[in-house]
Structure 1
Amino acid sequence: MRRRSARSVLAGSALSLTLVLAVPACSIGPDRSTAPRPTATGTASNSPSPADSGTSTAPAGVAPSRRSAVGVRELTFNRGGDRPLPVTVWYPAPGPVDGTPTSALPVAEGRFPVVLFSHGLTGRPADYRALLVRWAAAGFVVAAPAYPHTSRGASGGIQVLDVVNQPADASYVLTRLLALADRAGDPFRGHLDPDRVAAAGHSAGGVTTIGLFTAGRDPRLDAGIVLAGTALGVGTAFAGAAAPQLFVHGVRDEVVSYRAGRAAYDRVPWPKAMLTLPDGDHGRALLGRDQRALSVVAGTTVEFLRWTLYGDQRAKRRLPEQAVQGGLATLDDNL
């Protein structure tokens, strides 16, 4: 999709996006084995083809099955002067596994898939630590930028319409982060796999994530996770190579209606699944305030990432059982 047409799509739905996200969104806030890391062979196509409904190009392999310790690092990027993008990165690290991220730890041995996470309106990356640390412990490098005009404490106040600019911010952050894999002396040198990348986000961050597969399609992305998100503002013209999508939404969501999330899910032309929490709200589980629901969401998303980024078919087979654990959720499975 040409850049001009993408901008038009984003701007054309800005008013609707404001109406949906005017209420501040909740901000939210496993396992590593000694098995050889699979070699990545598949990448996303650079030639958009919205009708493409093929299967994932993730390589066959085995994801880590033991939890790792988690390190945390703060980076600072800037896209265009007035768009500072501080980024929190959680990553697998050697050492005792206690669930507490520690700064300055070295990166564990190996090259790891990357997950780019986008926060909700008025959120901050740290709000989602309960979920994102679990992803990192399962063998993923998780990078979460604080967006310049929608994060809590943003200079000039919250600007809802700026959400439509965030897919470009997210792609910029991904470019800068992946460049560290080749930078001499950087702790991430040799540890980031540019051929295995996913995007995920909550609420306004879910809008951002959908945008990365529609009007602002980033061809490096192999999969997406949309948590309580909607396509308003970014459209549903899903483009490029097939990238499996997992939607997670609570029926009692008080900010983004379940119907809106379901409508976006229904337009995805690729392998997809939707985890529905009948008693779920806009993000209590993601914040770690509902531990049982968090366990279901974290477990299901981890299996999805293991399958899409490591190519672990066993994880795909485990995913439906994990999704309905404890009877808290149902799964529409079209993966």
Structure 2
Amino acid sequence: MPSGQLDQRIVAVKPITVPAPGRSIDLQVKVTAPLSGRNLPVIVFSHGNAWSLDGYEPLVDRWAAAGFVVVQPSHLDSRRNGIGWDDPRFATIWRVRIADIHAILDDLPDILAQAGDLPERTDLERVAVVGHSWGAQTAGAILGARVLDADGIPGEDFSHSAVSAGALIAATGTGDTLTPFAAEHLPFMRPDYSTMTTPALVIAGGKDQSQLSSRGAEWFTDAYHLSPSPKSLLAIAEGEHTLGGLAGEEAAETTDEDPARVALVADTISAYLHDALKVDDAAWTALDNAAAAGDGIWSITSK
């Protein structure tokens, strides 16, 4: 697995407020980037439930050190906003999350202008979205997935033309297998991946058992199996929902803490996106070869 060391100095700027008319709370983002380098690709990252722009440093810092400009919003469900399950605003947060990502993508030049010299060092023709857990469903919508209504009819298209690739980490699966709690509070967790045509990497843990679905770990591979090619799947046999601690070291919900596993996830995403965004395919080719010759602890499948 990759080492835990970063190979490049990085810098973070926060908070930057993004115009988001009609949002009840200001949309703020954090930008993390390497101190040097040009033609840098962009990752817009959507956090899991209750997190914020201050989470996921183990992932974000590693992506920035690998040459990406990373933009992180705090969505409305961030615990710092105090919007719980029973708040009347909660039912529409999934839509606000998607609107947040659209607002960021539409305002990227101005966001970068507020973060130093990034406008002249960033390639806005190479943009990806990545998300974890609820953030993965948010990112999936930007990549073309839709949400099924109560009658199984796909909803509107939320894809964005600026995005060329993405990665979904522990993404919601499909089927009528939501638990009663999820069906009541999270009815939008019914994605339709048949329209997700944008190239994407799906990451799933072999020991990820959601409390929101009656299915097992395979639920988190639906985004790969049920979407059109080109797609790739990184399967990590011992991974649980936080895949080693993606949101932060010693985070309360981390039940499988493993810094090397976090580094594997971060570096696989970097390698995949460098290839998909046509920056450099060497790291992805090397990882693919390593997986093929590996011992089954992790594997990569593509279609």
TM-score past 0.5 threshold: yes
Corresponding residue for 1:331? 300
CA–CA separation in structure 1 for the residues paired with 2:269 and 2:37 = 23
Q: Is the counterpart of residue 172 in structure 1 residue 103 in structure 2?
A: yes
Structure 2, unaligned runs of 5 or more: 145-156, 174-188, 250-256
- Counterpart residue type for residue 311 of structure 1: V
- Counterpart residue type for residue 133 of structure 2: S
Corresponding residue for 1:249? 204
Runs of 4+ aligned residues of structure 1 deviating over 6 Å after TM superposition are none
RMSD of the TM alignment (CA)? 2.5
1:88, distance to aligned residue in structure 2 (A): 1.2
- Which of 110, 118, 139 pairs up with 1:188? 118
Corresponding residue for 2:29? 87
CA–CA separation in structure 2 for the residues paired with 1:205 and 1:160 = 16
- Which of 49, 61, 65 pairs up with 1:133? 61
Structure 1, unaligned runs of 5 or more: 1-29, 31-65, 94-107
Corresponding residue for 2:168? 226
- Which of 176, 193, 217 pairs up with 1:236? 193
Structure 1 residues 206, 168: closer, same or farther in 2, change over 3 A?
same
Structure 1 residues 137, 184: closer, same or farther in 2, change over 3 A?
closer
Corresponding residue for 1:38? none
1:167, distance to aligned residue in structure 2 (A): 1.6
Preserved contact between residue 105 and residue 162 of structure 2 (Cα < 8 Å): no
- Counterpart residue type for residue 268 of structure 1: S
Q: 1:80-125, CA deviations, whole angstroms, 9 ceiling, x for partnerless residues?
A: 24142211111011xxxxxxxxxxxxxx241311000000011123
Following superposition of structure 1 onto structure 2, how do residues 307-326 of structure 1 map, counting pairs within 5 Å? 307-323=275-291
CA–CA separation in structure 1 for the residues paired with 2:111 and 2:73 = 16
Corresponding residue for 1:77? 18
Structure 1 residues 71, 163: closer, same or farther in 2, change over 3 A?
same
Q: 1:152-175, CA deviations, whole angstroms, 9 ceiling, x for partnerless residues?
A: 222433526512331221011122
- Counterpart residue type for residue 134 of structure 1: R
Structure 1 residues 112, 293: closer, same or farther in 2, change over 3 A?
same
1:233, distance to aligned residue in structure 2 (A): 4.2
Structure 1 residues 234, 70: closer, same or farther in 2, change over 3 A?
same
CA–CA separation in structure 1 for the residues paired with 2:224 and 2:108 = 29
Corresponding residue for 1:263? 222
Q: Is the counterpart of residue 216 in structure 1 residue 147 in structure 2?
A: no
1:292, distance to aligned residue in structure 2 (A): 2.3
1:184, distance to aligned residue in structure 2 (A): 9.4
Preserved contact between residue 118 and residue 208 of structure 1 (Cα < 8 Å): yes
Give the secondary-structure state (helix, strand or coil) at the position aligned to 1:307: helix
Identity rate, percent: 27
Q: Is the counterpart of residue 273 in structure 1 residue 242 in structure 2?
A: no
Preserved contact between residue 203 and residue 228 of structure 1 (Cα < 8 Å): yes
Q: How many residues align?
A: 252
Corresponding residue for 2:176? none
CA–CA separation in structure 1 for the residues paired with 2:91 and 2:207 = 23
CA–CA separation in structure 1 for the residues paired with 2:28 and 2:236 = 32
Give the secondary-structure state (helix, strand or coil) at the position aligned to 2:232: strand
CA–CA separation in structure 2 for the residues paired with 1:109 and 1:208 = 29
Corresponding residue for 2:41? 113
1:203, distance to aligned residue in structure 2 (A): 0.3
CA–CA separation in structure 1 for the residues paired with 2:228 and 2:7 = 33
Structure 1 residues 303, 323: closer, same or farther in 2, change over 3 A?
farther
Structure 1 residues 167, 233: closer, same or farther in 2, change over 3 A?
farther
Corresponding residue for 1:151? 78
